Amino acid sequence: MSNNAQKNKRAVVDFYDMMFNQSKPMDAVRQFVGKEYAQHNPKVEDGKDGFIAYFSKMAKDFPGKSVQFKRVIAEGNFVVLHTHQKWPGGPDWAGIDIFRLDEDGKIVEHWDVLQQVPKKSANSNSMF
């Protein structure tokens, strides 16, 4: 794996940890996001300010929320996270987040898909 792929993986994990686990979305954006930020999640406004507003509200509404990183995959300027999200008072979620980084190793674009972790499964395989 290239050195850039390793740096990109580290940047995305550190960004996500700071934003989600540490509940510091503004600090995460300042440190890890590039000049522009394109958001593809339809529940979050586009741009840095929309991201900060959404996750600041989530930090207030769900203190103690946490994410565990199950897989981190990098190819080129993309990093994919497979995560287990825990929201106090709500269901757990399995998430796939895709980030695109610029040539400076800054996050500039994000997509995600989320699936609620069911209490029962039709098979004995874990979602993680």
| CA dist., res. 111 & res. 128, Å (int) | 19
Number of independent structural domains in the chain = 1
Structural tokens at position 53 = 């507003």
124: in domain: no
- Tell me, what CATH number does 106's domain have? 3.10.450.50
Distances (CA, A) of 25 to 55, 74, 91, 102, 115: 6, 23, 22, 19, 23
Confidence of residue 81 (pLDDT cuts 50, 70, 90): very high
Burial class (CB within 10 angstroms; exposed 0-12, middle 13-18, buried 19+) of 74: buried
122: in domain: no
What backbone phi and psi angles, to 5 degrees, belong to 112?
-150, 155
121: in domain: no
pLDDT of residue 3: 82
Residue 1: pLDDT over 90:
no
Q: What mean pLDDT do residues 7-36 have? A: 97
126: in domain: no
Residue range of the domain that includes 63: 3-116
pTM of the model: 0.93
pLDDT tens sequence across 22-71: 999 999 999 999 999 999 999 999 999 999 999 999 999 999 999 999 99
